């Protein structure tokens, strides 16, 4: 009998030097990539605590679980029964991906190779642990999915035209990127015509930012939001040594276009006093009132998502809306 551990390996594509350079650039440009929110044990623990909060799970996870129960049979008809690579981009805790693979294995899909991918070593370990009971082979990939090294890894390992790959980006990961055009260009450059991309985004409930902001302010009273705000600041405080009395959290909501097709919520750390930070041997001055962007989250008009992907060379094979979550299955035209 095969040892469960023998089917699991981890590949590290992250350069610590490049990571430090990215942080330095982020501090200098006042825009720290959201991937750093999840780095370090405390960052991962706070993210997982929010995910596992009963109120948050009821609000955010119930729709996704309902989606999997109702639609996996239809979606899986696109995939070959024998031989499928599943590449989970920004896998987080991996629970959603686990449900998909459990369904496929239960329905006699064989020779599945699962590649959970995350920038956080701590979260990647959690995702792998949550998948250990599966029959499939598992290769964890520690990587920045926007990097050239990861694009090369995809080209080197999944360019065989005889292989079919399913790329996953679940949990509104796509909507959390600063540069969604960039991630689409990366995907378009590596996907083959027989590959698939399944992702979900938040479908906006409001037609204008004022209505959204009122809803957000109301939700700020719920238990998960203080954890979320603390989570956004975590990397600055826990990893970079910022003191909490340096500043405060701030949230901004705005529309990205005249038709309100996309609403964005941006999280900032705003300095309440002048601060001199020493990082990597360089001193960086922050003046009172300056802010560092820590994360932005996008909500979309459903039809806009379809036109956005079709305009970037993708064919939308299926769209499914459950509550405020919109799931889309696409492939290269």
- Stretch 274-286: mean pLDDT: 91
- Stretch 45-64: mean pLDDT: 69
Residue of 247, 289, 279, 295 whose CA lies nearest to 28: 279
**Residue 59 scores a pLDDT above 90:** no
**Residue 227 scores a pLDDT above 50:** no
- The reported pLDDT for the residue numbered 216 is 53
Question: What tokens were used for 47?
Answer: 């993210």
60 confidence band (pLDDT: 50, 70, 90): low
CA distance linking residue 253 with residue 42, whole number of Å? 27
**Residue 260 scores a pLDDT above 60:** yes
- The reported pLDDT for the residue numbered 226 is 43
* Model pLDDT for residues 232-253, shown as the tens digit of each residue: 666 777 778 888 789 888 888 7
- The reported pLDDT for the residue numbered 61 is 63
* Model pLDDT for residues 10-42, shown as the tens digit of each residue: 999 998 888 889 999 999 999 988 888 777 776
Question: What tokens were used for 196?
Answer: 């698939």
* Model pLDDT for residues 113-165, shown as the tens digit of each residue: 999 999 999 999 999 999 999 999 999 999 998 888 998 999 899 988 788 99
**Residue 98 scores a pLDDT above 80:** yes
Sorted by where each begins, the domain ranges of the chain are: 4-18+54-204+302-332
CA distance linking residue 153 with residue 165, whole number of Å? 14
Domain 4-18+54-204+302-332 has CATH 3.40.250.10: no
- The reported pLDDT for the residue numbered 224 is 38
pLDDT, mean over the chain: 83
- The reported pLDDT for the residue numbered 225 is 45
- Stretch 219-224: mean pLDDT: 40
Contact (CB, 8 A) for 274 and 283? no
């Amino acid at each position: 009998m095969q040892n469960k551990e023998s089917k699991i390996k981890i590949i590290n594509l992250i350069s610590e030097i490049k990571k430090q350079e990215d942080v330095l650039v982020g501090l200098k440009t006042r825009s720290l990539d959201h991937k750093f929110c999840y780095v370090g044990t405390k960052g991962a623990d706070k993210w997982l605590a929010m995910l596992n909060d009963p109120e948050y799970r009821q609000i955010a996870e119930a729709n996704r679980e309902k989606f999997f129960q109702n639609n996996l049979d239809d979606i899986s008809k696109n995939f070959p029964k024998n031989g499928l690579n599943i590449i989970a981009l920004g896998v987080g805790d991996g629970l959603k991906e686990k449900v998909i693979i459990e369904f496929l294995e239960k329905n006699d899909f064989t020779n599945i190779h699962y590649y959970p991918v995350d920038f956080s070593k701590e979260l990647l370990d959690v995702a792998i642990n949550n998948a250990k009971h599966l029959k499939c082979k598992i290769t964890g990939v520690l990587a920045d999915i926007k990097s050239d090294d990861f694009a090369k890894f995809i080209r080197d390992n999944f360019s065989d035209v005889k292989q079919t790959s399913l790329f996953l980006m679940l949990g509104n990961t796509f909507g959390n990127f600063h540069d969604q055009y960039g991630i689409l260009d990366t995907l378009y450059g590596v996907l083959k015509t027989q590959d698939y991309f399944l992702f979900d985004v938040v479908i906006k409930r409001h037609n204008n930012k004022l209505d959204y902001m009122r809803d957000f302010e109301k939700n700020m009273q719920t238990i998960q939001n203080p954890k979320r705000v603390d989570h956004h600041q975590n990397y600055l405080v826990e990893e970079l040594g910022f003191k909490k009395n340096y500043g405060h959290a701030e949230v901004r909501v705005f529309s990205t276009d005249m038709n309100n097709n996309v609403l964005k919520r941006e999280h900032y750390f705003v300095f309440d006093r002048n601060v001199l930070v020493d990082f990597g041997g360089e001193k960086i001055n922050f003046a009172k009132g300056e802010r560092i962007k820590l994360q932005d989250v996008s909500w979309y008009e459903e039809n806009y998502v379809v036109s956005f992907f079709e305009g970037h060379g993708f064919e939308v094979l299926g769209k499914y809306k459950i509550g405020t979550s919109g799931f889309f299955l696409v492939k290269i035209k």
